[in-house]
Every structure is written in structure tokens, then in C-alpha cells.
Amino acid sequence: MEPLDLRLGPPRGPRVELAGIAFTARAVDKLRASLPGGNLHEYFPFVGVSAGWAHYTGIDLNELRDVIAAAGSETEVETWILERTAHLDKAIINAKLHRINSLKMPDDLRVVFERTYSADIRERYTNIFELLELDDVRFYTTSER
């Protein structure tokens, strides 16, 4: 697949499902942006919710990045993900992903999280998907992050 330049627009939203799992499309977009010729534009493809997604699906993000790099289309990537997640209860995974609470941020991510989001934003948007959606809008409508 072709690399993405996330300076031109955000990755797909966290609620967008691919292979029946929330956040998958966003993870794929961020990994495409990490390919040679792409641009992450301050997005993080291997930490945060991406790491949680990898934990819940059992898919290694580096391996998925290699699959994306070699794939001719997103359909190939989706098929690969479907094969590796066929045994999982996707409704449970989706429920867990949709419930991630920003107030329960792991200590190893807290410094970056607090630097990225002001205290009032962190308190107002405790659901991580809501926070990511807000961040995408703010990031592409203002010059400040």
C-alpha cells in the first residue's frame, strides 16, 4: 500500500471499524504513515491506544506494518487481520476499546499525555475516543496542538 502523509489530514477516526474491530482503520492509517515516504505528523503508531489494540487483537504492530507495506490493497490487509482475529470475540474487544478512560492513563504514557492535552481538556473528555476525535479536529483546524 502507498504510504500516507498525515500532514494532509488525520487518520480515520477511532470508531471506524476494519475487520469488525474499532480503531483498526486508524491503526492501519498510522502505520501507513510510518512507511518510507509517509509522514506521521506527530501521531504515534506504536503506543497508546494502538498498543492497547495490539494487546486485545494479539497482532504485533511491527508485523502489521510489514503486511501493510507489502499489500497491494487494504482488502489484503483486512483479510490478513480477519484471519488472525477470527477466534476473538470482537464485540468484547470493541466494548473495551470504546470504554478506555483517559483518567486511567498508564504512568509510562502520562508525561506525553499531559504535555499533549491541557488539564481542562483531559477532565472534560475522559473517553479516549472522544479525546482523539477532538484532537483530530483541533489539529487540522488550528496551528496549535
Cα–Cα distances in angstroms (integers) from residue 88 to residues 37, 57, 92, 120, in the given order: 34, 7, 9, 37
- Confirm if 41 and 7 have CB atoms less than 8 A apart: yes
Specify the pTM. 0.91
**How many whole angstroms separate alpha carbon 81 and alpha carbon 70?**
14
The pLDDT tens digits along the chain (145 residues) read 999 999 999 999 999 999 999 999 999 999 999 999 999 998 999 988 999 999 999 999 999 999 999 999 999 999 999 999 999 999 999 999 999 988 887 777 778 778 878 888 888 889 999 999 998 998 788 654 4
Alpha-helical (H) ranges within the chain are 24-33, 49-57, 61-70, 74-85, 90-98, 107-116, 119-124, 128-141
